[in-house]
Amino acid sequence: MQSHLIFNTVIGRQKPENIVNRSTSCPFCDRNQLEGIMEERGPMILLLNKFPVLEERHFPPC
C-alpha cells in the first residue's frame, strides 16, 4: 500500500515566515508568548504543532 503526504496550503499560508519577510518576528524567540508547551529541557522546547499542514497525520502525545 502506498501513501502520499498531502500538504494543506491554506494552513501553510498562515504560518509566520521571517526568512524573506524580515519584519515578521521569529515565533519561537519570545518564550513567554508560546502556546501548547508539552515539555521543556534547558534551551529545548517541545510544542504542539500550531500549524498542522500535513493532512490526516496525527501524532500521539509523548
Q: Give the three cell numbers for residue 60.
A: 500521539
pLDDT at 6 over 90: no
How does residue 59 score in pLDDT terms, banded at 50, 70 and 90?
Answer: low
Domains of the chain by residue range:
1-57
Q: Give the three cell numbers for residue 46.
A: 517541545
pLDDT at 62 over 60: no
In angstroms, rounded to a whole number, what is the distance separating the alpha carbons of residues 49 and 54? Answer: 11
pLDDT, residue 31, reads 85
pLDDT, residue 13, reads 75
Q: What secondary structure letter does DSSP report for 32? A: G
pLDDT in tens, 19-57: 777 787 777 888 888 888 999 999 899 888 877 777 776
